[in-house]
Amino acid sequence: MSKQVYENRELSWLRFNERVLEESEDERTPLCERLSFISIYQTNLDEFFMVRVGSIHDEMLIKKDARENKTSMTPGEQLEAIRERVKELNKRKDISYANLMGRMEEENIHLINFAKLDERQGAYLQTYFEQEILPLLSPFIVSKKQPFPFIKNNEICAVAVLATKNSKAKNIKTKIGIVPCNNGMFRRLIQIPGANGYYMLAEELILHFLPSVFNGYNIVSKSLIRVTRNADIDADKSYDEELSYREHMEEILKQRRKLTPVRMEYTRDLDKQVLTQMKNYLKIDKDMIFKVKAPLDLSFVFDIQDILRHKSELFFEKRFPQRTPDLDETRPLLPQILEGDKLLSYPYQSIRPFLNMLTEAANDPAVVSIKMTLYRLAKHSKVVEALVEAAENGKQVDVLVELKARFDEENNIEWSRMLESAGCHVIYGLDGLKVHSKLCLITRKVGDDVQYITQIGTGNYNEKTARLYTDLCLMTADERLGAEAAKVFQALSLGEVLESTEHLLVAPRCLQNKIVEKIEKQIEIAKGGGKAYLGFKLNSLTDKVIMDKIIEASEAGVKVEMVIRGINCLRTGIPGKTDNIRAVSIVGRFLEHSRVYIFGTGRKEEMFIASADFMTRNTVHRVEVAAPVYNSDLKKRIRDMFRLQLNDNVKAREQQPDGTYIYVTHEEPPVNAQEILYDQAYRAAQAATAPPVADEEI
């Protein structure tokens, strides 16, 4: 295959984060929401450096001549390309931030420095600093007797080049002073007294008063810095069998805090010699040191949003997940699912029916067991409450808690303890495989009959993200799916994976190969002159085996339509290769998270909802589950959602042959798929016999 057909994974991800940054620049987006997007851009980039750049950095140390399988770039070439792209994007970020803060001044929000203060305000801040902040600081001076301090991941520090006050001009000896600025003991956004709407960031206050911190020295130069550390640890590879797996994961979390720095950012000019010293102290690549103009951590914008919350015009219109007309929440839910398949679509519809179903199962005398896979949970999880209640009621409760869910490990460790103490049987995943599936199986015994209620989702069992992420939740009493779900849980309990399936697609052995087979079937239809079709709704596409098969389908004349929010390593529109493929990305108010696979058209159409993206990590390195949608009404509903997203001309961008994305434009009236789906949810709830319920609190 020609290299031009492929896009490098890391550069494709940066294109996605560029689309997030575009939302901060989009005048159609309310002002305070634009602040959210610029902060999301930054936190996305932080995680990218912690995980992806950290991984490439490690790879370069081990096998620097290795080449990735799509564009044949070496680790060094990837890091160089990342550096150049990040520099470009950060310039845009700094400009966008400056523009947004300029607009904030129109709303009487002013983020200022000392140059804009009068004498009285300056005196107040000096007193505030000396009384409220200085006693809580822990400054360091790097010297022979005091080595370079450990700087925490993403911690903002003030750095000063210090000269002794008695140094002669021609023979100045300097040292480096460092002051951590965000210890959590003082607020970051400080209001200026007597100046309503005027604020200063705590780190800027500390930076200004560094002479008071290092009063025995002259400050030659100073800056704020932030260090990002590698967070990519192979938990299974480093497993110590002397520890329980939960204890091992706790040790992994401690190790992560100390891993190698992969990036340093700074805000003011520093002498090259000082930058070299910092590079050497931190053992960081000089090309991964970036100067930025915007604050190093933009999370304070959410405090600004809280100040302006009374101005509704600065925010998206308030929306609340609605009840689904397919379920009557005044009646028991399990019998309704036994009558026919039900589908919830978050955040447009409430997660409450699913939570109620779990609670109902916990108290149903006919329920003998509940089995569930948990990946990411809310801080105050009602899912866990229901499982604990079920165990206390004598049900057999088997829960696989994935402790390797990145950045949620600590949360999951605590939930696993609570579940175990309640009498649940807790499993911690499989060796070398993350369990990422969203699967729940309720087993009932009614007389001599065994009934399965199976739930398969595209997103986590998290009440908070169910209001922010678009996901699908299928609840079914189909015996075929229930029986295979039971086999999945049986295999997990034995530390094994399924080798074959008939209905579900289950990674790592029965997903990628079956998807390839279904694509091949469409290729044969196209070659025979029939109407062949592939439709995929994904977060990311990186699996080269599947990508190559999609390219083959395009070459055979199969129409391929894809809605891919994030990484897409397959370039579309290349003559003779991918010119039958269209790919759009929707980045908007809600995070597109559902996965849908569609093969064929008409009566022969096959449709699946899934927890798996088309990434090798999902298709062959994780336990994932995709479920067929057999109910014709639910298939139509999902198909209509997919078509609406393909027709979006407000928040959708279409991929170009060179890998870039441009906003979709056409003559039709504006189509914002996410807002239309919410409007439909409201209308459906209002048309139902029972009054709609605004899901303000779960």
Residue 264's beta-bridge partner residues? Answer: 227, 289
Confirm if 584 and 655 have CB atoms less than 8 A apart. Answer: yes
Q: What would the two tokens of residue 197 be?
A: 């709407």
DSSP 358-373: HHHHHH-TTEEEEEEE
pLDDT at 235: 46
φ and ψ at residue 138, rounded to 5 degrees = -125, 80
First-to-last alpha carbon distance for the chain, in angstroms, is 51
Residue 258's pLDDT is 56
Cβ contacts of 320 within 8 Å, gap of 6 or more: 694, 695, 696
Alpha helices, H only, 214-271: 245-256
Q: Which residues contact 259 (CB under 8 A, 6 or more apart)?
A: 54, 229, 230, 231, 232, 233
CA geometry: angle 139, 143, 145, nearest 5 deg: 100
Q: What is the DSSP letter of 570?
A: B
For 490, phi and psi rounded to 5 degrees?
A: -65, -45
Return the HEC string of 147-194. Answer: CCCCCCCCCEEEEEEEEECCCCHHHCCEEEEEEECCCCCCCCEEECCC
Instruction: Determine how β-strand 217-229 pairs with β-strand 198-201.
Output: unpaired
Give the model's pLDDT for residue 73. 95
DSSP 313: G
Active site residue 666: no
pLDDT of the residue at 678? 98
The pLDDT value given to residue 247? 56
Torsion angles phi and psi, residue 91, rounded to 5: -60, -45
Q: What's at 679, amino acid-wise?
A: D
What is the chain's alpha carbon radius of gyration, rounded to the nearest angstrom?
Answer: 27
DSSP letter, residue 501: -
Give rounded-to-5 percent helix, strand, coil for the chain: 40, 20, 35
Q: Is it true that the peptide bond before 30 is cis, omega within 30 degrees of 0?
A: no
Residues 6+ apart with CB under 8 A from 68: 8, 9, 78
Q: One-letter amino acid identity for 602?
A: G
Which pair of structure tokens corresponds to residue 162?
Answer: 């210090």
Catalytic-labelled residue, pool 436, 593, 621, 666 = 436
Please tell me the distance from the alpha carbon of residue 666 to that of residue 644, in angstroms, as a whole number: 14
Instruction: Label residue 447 left, alpha or beta by phi (over 0 means left) and psi (-120 to 50 means alpha).
Output: left
- Hey, what are 622's tokens? 């994780």
pLDDT tens-digit map of 519-556: 999 999 999 999 999 999 999 999 999 999 999 999 99
DSSP H or E stretch at residue 536: strand 533-538
Q: Find the length of the chain.
A: 698
For 49-74, where are the alpha helices, taking DSSP H only?
Answer: 54-62
Q: What is the 3-state secondary structure (H, E, C) of 246-258?
A: HHHHHHHHHHHCC
- Distance, C-alpha 617 to centroid of its chain: 16
pLDDT of residue 238: 42
Burial of 455 (0-12, 13-18, 19+ CB in 10 A): buried
The helix or strand, by DSSP H or E, that contains position 202, with its residue range, turns out to be helix 202-208
| 76: number of Cβ within 10 Å | 15
In 283-407, where does DSSP find H-type helix? Answer: 301-307, 333-339, 352-363, 382-392
Q: Cβ neighbours of residue 679 under 8 Å, at least 6 residues apart?
A: none
Tokens 């519809």 found at: 349
Which residue, 374, 471, 467, 354, is CA-closest to 415?
374
Give the chain's residues under pLDDT 70. Answer: 1-3, 167-171, 233-258, 405-408, 689-698
* Cis before 347? omega within 30: yes
Question: How many helices and strands in the chain, by DSSP H and E?
Answer: 20, 27
> If DSSP states are collapsed to H, E and C, what string results for 602-657?
HHHCEEEEECCCECHHHHCCEEEEEEECCCHHHHHHHHHHHHHHHCCCCCEEEECC
Cα–Cα dist 210/163, whole Å: 13
